[in-house]
Amino acid sequence: MDLSDALDGWPSGGNQSGGGGPWPGQPSNPTWPGQPTNNPTWPGGQSGGGPMWPGGNPSQPAWPSPSPQPSAPGGWPSPAPGPGPGPTIPSAPQQNLAVPYSQMLPSGVYDKLLITIAGTIKPNADKITVDLSTSSDLAFHFNPRFNEGGQQVIVRNSCIGKKWGKEERELQRFPFAKGQSFEMKILCTNREFKVAINNSHLLEYKHRITNLSAINKLNIYYDLTLSKVHMETLP
């Protein structure tokens, strides 16, 4: 079955509006690189050590890494795979980066799993979609739309038991541009998915499916080309 056709099995989403929740204040939750200093810190970092954002241009984001030198475009240091609560998943072979793209996650998702997706938005793009799903449900639907009634919006939702939940739409900015390259990072924690685009935190999405090990497939669809899909476990 073509992966695009597989989307037809999900019921149509609603038009409900909703915003994501506030950033968790629990010290046990790591913060995203560039998080304001009054929030908890990334594991291994010093309290308040992250540079302020947005509007700042830190030369070195406070990302945990054995090497201080950034190794990815846009100044993203690349955390080395290391000991963690789950196994390190090897990068997908380059020859398998055709869209629609699908990759199985044998251990599901788990705390400190980092997924990096890099590519280019097509010049005539209407939408792109990144889905994390179980065998039957859609745990995290990330759907940037470039022209929805003249507006740019990123819809986030889950589809459980073939029923869509409440959409989350509110954002301060739309970070994608037609014809432009991007790098997207999805960090899984025990509470939520955190998403950053081009070295800047964008949003968090609280888990609606809490059995994380059941979330075992990554799918990427529509108007983009892929240059990298990489998974690793942060230390």
Residue 178, phi-psi category: left (phi > 0), alpha (psi -120 to 50), beta (remainder): beta
109-234: CATH, from 2.60.420.10, 2.60.120.200, 2.30.110.10, 1.10.760.10: 2.60.120.200
* Number of Cα atoms under 13 Å in the Cβ half of residue 60: 6
Are 167 and 156 in contact by the 8 Å Cβ rule? The answer is yes
How confident is the model at residue 137, as a pLDDT?
96
In this structure, what DSSP letter does residue 200 have?
A: E
Strand ordering across the sheet containing 113-121: 200-206, 192-197, 181-188, 113-121, 224-233
How confident is the model at residue 172, as a pLDDT?
87
How confident is the model at residue 4, as a pLDDT?
46
Are 30 and 43 in contact by the 8 Å Cβ rule? The answer is yes
Which two structure tokens, joined as six digits, stand for 19? 């915003």
- Rounded CA-CA distance 113/128 in Å is 22
pTM summary value: 0.63
Residue-by-residue pLDDT tens, the chain, 235 positions:
444 444 444 544 444 434 444 443 344 444 455 554 444 434 433 334 444 444 444 444 444 444 444 444 444 444 545 444 555 555 544 446 899 999 999 999 999 999 999 999 999 999 999 999 999 999 999 999 999 999 999 999 999 999 999 999 999 899 999 999 999 999 999 999 999 999 999 999 999 999 999 999 999 999 999 999 999 999 9
